Structure 1
Amino acid sequence: MKTFEQYLDQYAELAVKVGLNVQKDQTVVIMTPIACADFVRKITKKAYEAGAKDVVIDWDDDEVKALRLKHAPESTLREYPMWRANGLEEMAKGGAAFLQIYAPNSDLLKGVDPERIAISGKAAATAREGFLKYLRSNQVNWLMVSYPTAEWSAKVFPNLSEEERIQKLWEQIFKLTRVDTENPVAAWNAHIQNLTAKQEMLNGKRYKQLHLQAPGTDLYIELVPKHVWVAAGSTTDSGIFFLPNMPTEEVFTMPLRGGTNGTVRSTLPLSYQGSLIDGFSLTFENGKVVKATAEVGQEVLNKMLDMDEGARYLGEVALVPYDSPISQSGIIYYNTLFDENASCHVALGNSYPFNIEGGTAMSPEELAENGYNKSLIHVDFMIGSAEMDIDGITADGTREPLFRKGNWV
């Protein structure tokens, strides 16, 4: 049996060589909390071994971030260091690869005024818009993975000691990213093939609408006419195939900006910018959220929806079977990277240009004409369950069952 260090080594190698797919002489940028420093060093070594010419670390610290939001003058929260935003954009323009280590602390900003959080979040999103465009249009290869910090593991396994909960979370990460298989690369190749088969089936159907039904959910989502379903991996303009998320279980596409109607209810908590939103329901009319209620985090939800005009429209719909490995673990991870791959989900905010035929080559005006939604945010939230039924509806009104009781028909 392999040791923990061997599994960790495989995880780092899988992230660099399969997920990010680092190329020779490519710069790698790692965006990470300081709590993940040991793992960052391991990934850095793997990146250089894969041929990277340089590895740049963009450190962050949750506690410092929280202190700023609690105590800094409000005028300061309206600013974002442009040298940082411009630096990321410049490296993206130069063809760098970007790896983000995501280890959320959903209780970090409990008690902080949601207005201050919203001001700071909007300033950061506005400043980083140019950089994020490179990621959202797949002009660069990028990847998000997770690392079990003390704070995140405490949320997932609150009744265990710190050592036990971190160990248990590592076990889940290794399992759900297929690191614990005999041949992780072969396991990922087989998984990519399975998801690609679903992608090709859906692209062949050319559905006009999806109808989602479950307790609290009765939602019609019209798709853009030239929509493209995407699964698992993407390819950059320069031909680099990469996996943006590890783990991944979804097949997703673009809703028409004004084409969503009905009500949808969340089925898992949403960790958003250090705050928790749970038990929430959204009602859409002609694509726009016109009513939003939450059992937890109502004010945070309101601020998120008021980020800009596009924040009240959908930018993504994703199909994930209830019998996915993440769902079957029976664990709520309070981490969108994991929870979104346990459940069908939709995203409020910005669409992905690659979900339209020829979208990455379109101008902003052309994208808008094709039903694309523009926003500073892209926030996935989970709506799937064992009771979710989904029909695909063709242009002539024919209904075809896609999901029954949470799984593919």
Structure 2
Amino acid sequence: MDPRIREHAEVIVDHSTGIESGENVVIQLPPEAEDLAVALHELCGDRGANPIWVSNSDRASRAFKRATDSFDEPSHELAFFEETDAFIIARGGANVTEGADVDPETNAAYNRARRDIKEERLSKTWCLTQAPTSGHAQLAGMSTEAYENFVYDAVSLDWDAQREFQAQLVEILDDAEEIRIRSGEETDVRMSIAGNTALNDYGEANLPGGEVFTAPVRESVDGEVYFDLPLYRYGREIEGVRLRFDDGQVVSHSAERNEDLLASILDTDDGSRYLGELGIGMNRQIDRFTYNMLFDEKMGDTVHMAVGSAYEDCVGEGNERNESAEHVDMIVDMSEDSVIEVDGEVVQRNGTFVFEDGF
């Protein structure tokens, strides 16, 4: 076994989830990540936890969705996660476009039926990470070896140092009222974060981490955003997304590629046209775009916004939490002709923060 796999598992168990004796641990990995499953089981055994490996097969999921368009909540799966203390999931299927021929409306219906399961999982200790498989290497335009190096370098960061670096931005946002983001000629959007909490993501729920994120006040978002970096969703690439917000809601939208998929996401439910998250990427170890949102949203010199559900821990008492079966992140490159303003003061210019040299 590659010793880096063992190191990856140790970061997951000890840093990201803090698994303890007696805990019930669900490990959901693709078949291609069996070595990581083995390492995680060894570590759970060392710590007295109770692991179970559930294989997540993109082929099996596609087969089920194409066989039916009528979905009920799987109550047995909900009960399974109700008995779970910690949930570990890794991306890494052999074919990243496996679900490309599933109808967007079917995906939306599937997500609606599983909304309570998603909420139950998110209420537990959880970690989403990446197994460096050849499918994702191909998507990133890298050799398998180069992609393995990229992934393992990103997950084995000095997370204490990263936490301290990001804490400087958290401090700025702690008492903030309004954020304005401007980039080029097509992005100018304002939102209130008054009363909400900015969280420091340093490799816990997401591994790799490397962002500071919060939730906008639900009906405060106004303006236009051009997401100039693409995203993969359900095995299809959505490119050149433009959204216009009025009183928090997406009132017009377009995409240069796969606009039908974007429309189906926005039409999933009442909450899917509102922003649930604003995140600011701060991980400079992630220095290239790989078509993998787990990494891409953490890149330095970027911001991302997610339509759909807001994380409960970000929403302050008295503010409404946006709820949805969807949570879809989209990215704006902030490296040129861009600023982030907090209560009228510029805190980032062309990717450089006010607390960094060169600002």
SS of equivalent to 1:318: strand
Moved more, 188-197 or 55-64: 188-197
Which of 200, 218, 222 does residue 171 from structure 2 map onto? 200
Structure 1 residue aligned with 2:37: 40
The question of whether the paired residues in 1 share the 8 Å contact of 2:111 and 2:326 is answered with no
Pairing 1:376–2:354 present? no
Contact 1:351 1:373 in 2 (8 A): yes
* Contact 1:97-1:141 at 8 Å conserved across structures: yes
Q: Distance in 2 between matches of 1:100 and 1:151?
A: 17
- Between structures 1 and 2, the one with greater helix share: 1
- Structure 2 vs 1, CA of residues 214 and 194 (structure 1 numbering), >3 Å: closer, same or farther? same
Q: How many matched pairs? A: 349
Give the deviation of 1:286 after TM superposition. 0.6
| Contact residue 310 and residue 323 of structure 2 kept, 8 A | yes
| 1:97 aligned residue | 86
- Go from structure 1 to structure 2 and tell me whether the alpha carbon gap of 1:19 and 1:129 turns closer, same or farther (over 3 Å shift): closer
Matches within 5 A, 1:112-191: 112-124=102-114, 126-134=115-123, 140-157=124-141, 165-178=143-156, 187-191=158-162
**Separation (CA, whole Å) in 2 of partners of 1:62 and 1:28:** 22
Q: Report if the CA contact (8 A) 2:87-2:121 is conserved.
A: no
Matching residue of 1:181: none
Pick from 171, 179, 187 the counterpart of residue 217 of structure 1: 187
Could you tell me which residue of structure 1 aligns to residue 357 of structure 2? none
Aligned-partner SS, 1:210: strand
Q: Report SS of the residue matched to 1:256.
A: coil
* Within-5 A mapping of 1:7-406: 7-49=4-46, 51-70=47-66, 72-75=67-70, 78-91=71-84, 96-103=85-92, 105-124=95-114, 126-134=115-123, 140-157=124-141, 165-178=143-156, 187-203=158-174, 206-215=175-184, 216-223=186-193, 225-232=194-201, 243-321=204-282, 324-326=284-286, 329-330=287-288, 332-342=289-299, 343-357=302-316, 359=317, 369-387=318-336, 388-393=338-343, 399-406=344-351
RMSD, matched Cα = 2.0
- Could you list the per-position Cα deviations for residues 306-355 of structure 1 after superposition, in whole angstroms to 9, with x for gaps in the alignment? 1111110011111224x7221xx23x222111011012111111112212
> Structure 1 354/116 Cα, relative in aligned 2: closer, same or farther at 3 Å?
closer
Cα separation, 2, equivalents of 1:194 and 1:30: 31
Whether the 8 Å contact between 2:6 and 2:36 is mirrored in structure 1 is: no
Name the CA distance, whole Å, in 1 between partners of 2:32 and 2:73. Answer: 23
Change beyond 3 A, Cα 1:307–1:286 = same
| Structure 1 residue 133, shift from structure 2 partner | 4.9
Cα 1:111–1:376 shift into 2, 3 Å: closer
1:248 is paired with a residue of what secondary structure? coil
1:129: Cα distance to partner?
4.4
Residues 69 and 156 of structure 1: CA distance in aligned 2, closer, same or farther (over 3 Å): same
Instruction: Report the Cα distance in structure 2 between the residues aligned to 1:99 and 1:193, rounded to whole angstroms.
Output: 25
Could you tell me how far 1:53 is from its partner in structure 2? 2.6
Q: What are the superposed Cα offsets for residues 212-258 of structure 1, whole Å, 9 maximum, x if unpaired?
A: 111221111111x311111025xxxxxxxx81111111111120100
Maintained 8 Å contact 2:181/2:188: yes
Separation (CA, whole Å) in 2 of partners of 1:34 and 1:167: 19
SS of the aligned residue for 2:220 comes to: strand
Q: Which amino acid aligns with 1:325?
A: Q
Name which of structure 1's ranges 310-319 and 378-387 shifts more when overlaid on structure 2.
378-387
Q: Bigger shift: 336-345 or 32-41?
A: 32-41
Structure 2 stretches of 5 or more lacking a match? Answer: 355-359
Counterparts of 1:36 and 1:317, CA distance in 2: 31
Comparing 247-256 and 272-281, the one that deviates more: 272-281
Give 1:85 shift: 2.2
> What is the deviation of 1:127?
4.4
Contact 2:280 2:298 in 1 (8 A): no
- Taking structure 2 as the reference length, the TM-score comes to 0.91
Q: Deviations over 1:151-175 (max 9, x none)?
A: 2222112xx6xxxx22111100111
Shift of 1:106: 4.3
Contact 1:288–1:312 (8 Å) recurs in 2? yes
Q: Secondary structure at the match of 1:325?
A: coil
Spell out, residue by residue over 1:136-155, the C-alpha distance to the aligned partner (whole angstroms, 9 max, x if none).
Answer: xxxx3211110122322221
Separation in 1 of the partners of 2:31 and 2:232?
20
- Provide the C-alpha distance between the structure 2 equivalents of 1:196 and 1:13, rounded to a whole number of angstroms: 24
Q: Shift of residue 99 of structure 1? A: 0.8
Structure 1 residue 5 displacement after superposition = 1.7
Note the alpha carbon deviations across 1:81-119, whole angstroms, 9 max, x for none.
32112211232xxxx111111236542222332222222
Indicate the SS of the match to 2:37.
Answer: helix
The secondary structure found in structure 2 opposite 1:344 is: strand
